[in-house]
């Protein structure tokens, strides 16, 4: 068994048996005719694992998909961008079911075999007729070379499409994992305004897939934050159709750990792309809190710093204002002791024992001039740690989010 | 007993026996020679009530003042702006004590009778010699007409000085309450990067004053938020020197409730001024959550909305994007039921039963064009409510906070 794997092209259509299609049906009412409807399908029934938003206000497609995903024989996922179909009441639920129904009719599947996702503005009824009208062409247009088109069609304010795929060898069988995601604003730990579709041709049971996928999401999409906001629509789905023919993956096996490492590679890279494409962001920051008394302490401290408007503004200004970092650590509910705290930027010590180090300030300013840098906070109270990927806060963020 | 009271001039020096002074000693190293050292003193010992930051990282002056305030016979408060004397280790503590010591020496008071506050950048040692050198002039310059100069000298990024005073009549005696505050960025419930000094000539015991002051702070400074950040230096102090000669105020008395209403008038107005002067803010928003199951639910929902970068950016754009408001309510830990939520802008209904109301969107846009407006969220799950004053998020906020 090889321990490595290689990146391949194709995104969600890289694994055997998966096809995709995308079109513009007019949900995004702009003149530039951007694609706003996407479909991915499997030629055989697939088991599905899923994670949905923890926001108490859940969009209609989230509620419908959470029900449909239990079927155990998913065939397709339809996604529209430009309208979230959230806060749309019972009409919204009908619209989400209608999308699944028409896809199922056209593909000759069952309604419960189709999952539905929406992303975009909240509170406006879906233009359901336009979507319904475009579905027949979409289903008949399913092709194995449409992975990239799929990734583009699910974008909202994203500036680049996010997709990735790998091939690995499990007990002699070639297994592929592909993925596409959309991100931009409203990104926070505990999911995000984030849609992510992962496909694989691995042979794996639904329960096993759900366990591996949940861990993978926790260590990827749940460790990124742009603005601390969490959406009503966040959805991550993983379909496994078994066409690779590998021996079934079982938990506690070496092969399953290997498969998990491939899955993690996909989710972490997609999560990283989402942060790199954070709305208006000019800096990409890998923030680690270590030496915490507990994992929860490490996480709370990291999230307080990563979501502080003042800290994020200073990063935009390339100003190593560690006072704001220490202030945020202090108001987080994490256990801290001022005189124990060390802070590093790209490994250069800025704070030692809670006070300014002897490093000349211009040395630290040099680090912040980079587009990417790390911030490491050592609380020296234990051995727990937590890492989060985040961005700066820029005037451009506000401009991008000030209107429709 | 009159139930009203009238505003008077004089700020912290309006009450009998209080004098103030301000000077520029070079803590703020700018060329414009802005005042950065301020002193307020009472001609007789005063009882003091105080509330300090709940940040676990506390600045040196906070720790020194928290100790000195117990004396029960405070004579003066010295405040420097431009440097927070926070994260400065044992040197910082020595510097804060040194400030109190030199003021006490010059005023012929005891060191414990002097309180110390600092506000400004974190992590840089105080230029203590400059401060010490300026104290003799400061003490000898104490005058009853220097209230406004005091309010100006404690400013950092504030764009206007914040002061107010009232006169009330208690059992035939004229009683005055005056106050000054500084705010700007780093403003969040549970205090703020906020300094506030209140003076009164009322006769009142220390314990009684502390009780009334704590309630007053909870209902004013703890109900405002600009950026969700909470500083290491937040301090609110109330001095009462008893020179008005009123019968001592006791809890549960009508007179004490009347005095409390005057105190609340002062703290609420100062809190409102702080929000109106929020860094880079262009909108002033009074946000109320009502119909919550519990007070904590109302508070959590209000704070989630008031601190959402996405919501605040949409207010800047005058875009009635209530979907983001409902999203923030949903990810707060408050108990909510989507189909019960109503949302109003200046009383105009935008959301009814969790979905868009029939109000034409342009009607709601008109409300957001105002510099000040209210947002009312009715959860329809109980009778608890919470109100918070907040601002929008603007490109200017980021620019103001991007560097030194």
Chain A residue with CA closest to B190: the answer is A331
Place of tokens 């992962």: A198
Please tell me the distance from the alpha carbon of residue B378 to that of residue B351, in angstroms, as a whole number.
10
Residues of B in contact with A121 (CB under 8 A): 321, 323
Chain B residue with CA closest to A323: the answer is B122
Q: How is the beta sheet containing B384-391 ordered, strand by strand? A: B224-225, B384-391, B284-292, B372-378, B342-345, B348-352, B355-356
Q: Do B57 and A313 touch (CB under 8 A)?
A: no
Chain B residue with CA closest to A190: the answer is B331
Q: Which two tokens stand for residue B315?
A: 């207010």
Around Cβ B247, how many Cβ atoms within 10 Å? 12
Written out in words, the top-level CATH class of the domain with range B284-401 is alpha beta
Q: What is the CATH number of domain B6-276?
A: 3.60.70.12
Q: Using CB atoms, which residue from B86, B227, B316 is nearest to A309?
A: B227
Q: Three-state secondary structure along chain B?
A: CCCCCEECCCHHHCCCCEEEEEECCCCCCCCCCCCCEEEEEEEEEEEEEEEECCCCCCCHHHHHHHHHHHHCCEEEEEEEEEECCCCCHHHHHHHHHHHHHHHHHHHCCCHHHEEEEEEEECCCCCCHHHHHHHHHHHHHCCECCCHHHHHHHCCCCCCCCEEEEEEEEECCEEEEEEEEEECCCCECCCCECCEEEEEECCCECHHHHHHHHHHHHHCCHHHEECCCCCCCCCEEEEEECCCCCCCCECCCCHHHHHHHHHHHHHHHHHHHHHHHCCCCCCCEEEEEEEEECCHHHHHHHHHHHHCCHHHHHHHHCCCCCHHHHHHHHHHCCCCCCHHHCEEEECCEEEEECCEECCCCHHHHHHHHCCCEEEEEEECCCCCEEEEEEEECCCHHHHHHHCCC
A43: helix, strand or coil: strand
Please tell me the distance from the alpha carbon of residue B308 to that of residue B328, in angstroms, as a whole number.
7
pLDDT at A32: 62
Q: How far is CA B294 from CA A389, B154, B379, B380, in A?
A: 35, 38, 11, 11
User: How many Cβ pairs closer than 8 A exist between chain A and B?
Assistant: 206
Q: Which two tokens stand for residue B160?
A: 């206007």
Q: Do A326 and B54 touch (CB under 8 A)?
A: no
Q: Do A229 and B328 touch (CB under 8 A)?
A: yes
Residues of A in contact with B321 (CB under 8 A): 121-122, 404
Convert the pLDDT of each residue in B89-139 to its tens digit.
999 999 999 999 999 999 999 999 999 999 888 888 999 999 999 999 999
Catalytic residue numbers of A, as ranges:
193
Please tell me the distance from the alpha carbon of residue B322 to that of residue B326, in angstroms, as a whole number.
6
Predicted complex: ipTM over 0.95: no
Are A67 and A23 in contact, with CB atoms under 8 Å apart?
no
Please tell me the distance from the alpha carbon of residue B169 to that of residue A94, in angstroms, as a whole number.
65
pLDDT at B229: 64
Are A280 and B398 in contact, with CB atoms under 8 Å apart?
no
Q: Do B356 and A124 touch (CB under 8 A)?
A: yes
Which residue of A282, A323, A343, A352 is the best one to mutate when testing the B interface, meaning the one whose CB has the most B CBs within 10 A? A323
Chain B residue with CA closest to A333: the answer is B56
pTM of the model: 0.80
pLDDT tens track, chain A, 404 positions:
445 899 999 999 999 999 999 999 988 876 467 899 999 999 999 999 999 988 888 899 999 999 999 988 999 999 999 899 999 999 999 999 999 999 999 999 999 999 999 988 888 899 999 999 999 999 999 999 999 999 999 988 788 999 999 999 999 999 999 999 998 655 554 444 689 999 999 999 999 999 999 999 988 888 876 666 667 788 999 999 999 999 999 998 899 999 999 999 999 999 989 888 877 889 999 999 999 999 999 999 999 999 888 899 999 999 888 988 998 999 888 999 999 999 999 999 999 999 999 999 899 999 999 999 999 999 999 999 999 888 999 998 888 777 65
Residues of A in contact with B331 (CB under 8 A): 54-56, 188, 190, 229-230
Q: Do B327 and A229 touch (CB under 8 A)?
A: yes
Beta strands, E only, A6-150: 6-7, 18-23, 37-52, 74-83, 114-121
Buried b (16+ CB within 10 A) or exposed e, B50-65: bbbbebbbbbbbbbbb
Domain ranges, ordered by start, for chain A: 6-276, 284-401
Which residue of A186, A313, A328, A392 is the best one to mutate when testing the B interface, meaning the one whose CB has the most B CBs within 10 A? A313
DSSP state of A168: E
């Amino acid at each position: 068994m090889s321990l490595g794997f290689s990146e391949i092209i194709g995104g969600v259509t890289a694994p055997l048996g998966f096809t995709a299609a995308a079109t513009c049906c007019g949900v995004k009412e702009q003149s530039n005719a951007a694609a706003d409807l996407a479909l991915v399908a499997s030629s055989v029934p697939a088991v599905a694992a899923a994670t949905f938003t923890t926001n108490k206000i859940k969009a209609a497609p989230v509620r419908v998909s959470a029900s449909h995903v239990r079927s155990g024989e998913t065939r397709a996922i339809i996604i529209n961008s430009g309208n979230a179909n959230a806060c749309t009441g019972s009409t919204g639920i009908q619209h989400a079911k209608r999308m699944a129904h028409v896809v199922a009719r056209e593909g000759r599947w069952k309604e419960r075999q189709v999952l539905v996702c929406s992303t975009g503005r909240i509170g406006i009824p879906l233009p359901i007729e336009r979507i319904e009208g475009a579905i027949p062409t979409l289903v008949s247009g399913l092709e194995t070379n449409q992975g990239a088109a799929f990734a583009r069609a699910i974008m909202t304010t994203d500036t680049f499409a996010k997709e990735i795929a790998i091939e690995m060898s499990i007990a002699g069988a070639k297994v592929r994992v592909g993925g596409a995601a959309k991100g931009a604003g409203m990104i926070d730990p505990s999911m995000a305004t984030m849609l992510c579709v992962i496909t694989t041709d691995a042979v794996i049971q639904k329960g096993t897939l759900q366990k591996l996928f949940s861990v993978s999401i926790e260590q990827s999409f749940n460790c990124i934050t742009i603005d601390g906001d969490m959406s009503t629509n966040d959805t991550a789905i993983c379909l496994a159709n078994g066409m690779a023919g590998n021996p079934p993956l079982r938990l506690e096996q070496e092969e399953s750990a290997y498969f998990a490492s491939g899955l993690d590679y996909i989710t972490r890279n997609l999560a990283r792309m989402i942060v790199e494409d954070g709305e208006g962001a000019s800096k990409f920051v890998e923030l680690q809190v270590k030496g915490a008394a507990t994992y929860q302490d490490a996480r709370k401290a990291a999230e307080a710093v990563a979501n502080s408007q003042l800290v994020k503004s200073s990063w935009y200004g390339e100003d190593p204002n560690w006072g704001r970092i220490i202030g945020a650590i202090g108001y987080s509910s994490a256990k801290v002791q001022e005189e124990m705290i060390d802070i590093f930027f790209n490994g250069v010590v800025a704070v030692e024992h809670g006070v300014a180090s002897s490093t000349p300030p211009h040395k630290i300013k040099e680090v912040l001039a980079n587009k990417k840098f790390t911030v490491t906070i050592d609380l020296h109270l234990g051995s727990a740690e937590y890492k989060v990927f985040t961005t700066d806060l820029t005037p451009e963020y506000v401009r991008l989010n000030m209107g429709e």
